[in-house]
Structure formats: C-alpha cells, structure tokens
Amino acid sequence: MALQPSFQRALVIAGKYDAPHTLDVFLDYVCPFSAKIALAIDSVLKPLFAPGGKYDGKVKVIFRNQVQPWHASSTFVHEAGLAVARVAPEEFWKFSLALFAAQRDYFDIPTSTLTPTEIREKLTALVAESVSEDKAAPFKDLVTLKTTPNGGVDVTDDLKYTIKFSRQNGIHVSPTVLWDGLIANEISSSWGEREWTEFLEKKVTA
C-alpha cells in the first residue's frame, strides 16, 4: 500500500520500508482493541522484523491513523500523533504507545467537560512527558488553531490524507489489518506470539 513520502520515517513502525510484504494496521488511539494489538506489535512483531530478526527485510508494518468520529476526542488524539510524526518522527511509535497507555484519559466521559484547547493542552503535556520537553512547544504550535475561523490546525491536511486513505480503501472500524493490501479478517486483537508466528509462517513467501 502506498504511503505519503513525508510519513515514511514515522509511520513505518516496524521493518524496512522496502520490505516486500506489508501489514497495514488501522488503529484508533481511543479504541481498547487497538491498544491490545499495538502491544502485540511492539512485543511480538517488532523483534521479528528488526535487524537480525527472523523476518528482517521481509515484512514492514505501517501505522494507519483510523479516526472514529463516534469517539469525540478521536480527531484530537490523531492530530497529536500526526504532529509528533512531524516534529519527532523517530519518536512516533513511542508516543503512540504512551497515548494508548493513557487512552482512558481521552475516553468520552473524561473529556466531556473539556474544551478542544484543554484536550490539546493535555496532549502537549503527554508529549513533554513521553517524547521530550523540547518537542512540546513545536508540537503545540502544530495543534493550535489557525487564525481563520474554520482553518483547522497545521496537521489538518495530514489528517485529511489519513481519513481519505481509509475511506477509499473501505476501512470502517479499528483495528483493521491488511496483509499485502487485502483485509485479513482472521487477525484478532487478542493474538499473541503463537497466533502471529503461525500467520507469518504461512504468509511470508518472499
């Protein structure tokens, strides 16, 4: 699956970009099932696809931002992820894991009394804590509303790209995983090392 060049350093979260096989993983930061599969990616898949791993150079994992608008804060948390991809692309996955770990803070009820500005302030604090304090200011600048009444923020175009990509490929919910461009319905957020190992043994042919 194609990936906008500006995202290659950040959103390819495991493996090498030129690997012949691709896992596209569509995740929402405020989806509990997305959090479960993110942990499996980090603990099971990244070591397998890393230098020296069994599938080094054979498989890559691309993080696909999947905004789910029925969660009121979904837009804000994905803006945050994309802003980190801009200011600290090498820390995108680290921040994503921190955001998944803190996702309950951004659920519907905890954010129901917060303004959009206050939610973005919380996310800026998370960047300072999980990435670095020196990245907090440029991050905050990217997620601050523009001066025009309906102009969005500086990563709005990035957000549009991710949403359009999901829509044109018929992705509706998270997590959704594609193997080499086709939806792999058998993949579950509950998968551990055994299931992923069996899947890869069957699928990796290059």
For the chain, percent of residues with pLDDT exceeding 70: 100
pLDDT per residue over 15-31, tens digit each? 999 999 999 999 999 99
Is the pLDDT at 107 greater than 80? The verdict is yes
Q: Helix, strand or coil for residue 159?
A: helix
Closest CA to 155 of 14, 24, 23, 4: 4
Q: What pLDDT does 147 receive?
A: 84
Is the pLDDT reported for residue 74 higher than 70? Answer: yes
Q: Judge residue 70's burial from the number of C-beta atoms within 10 Å of its C-beta, 0-12 exposed, 13-18 middle, 19 or more buried.
A: exposed
Q: What is the pTM of this model?
A: 0.95
Q: Which fold has domain 5-203?
A: Glutaredoxin (3.40.30)
Please give the average per-residue pLDDT across 148-162, as a whole number: 95
The CA distance from 56 to 139, in Å, is 32
pLDDT at 1 over 80: no
Residue 115 CB neighbour total at 10 angstroms: 9
Query: Can you tell me the distance from the alpha carbon of 6 to that of 104, in angstroms, rounded to the nearest whole number?
Result: 30
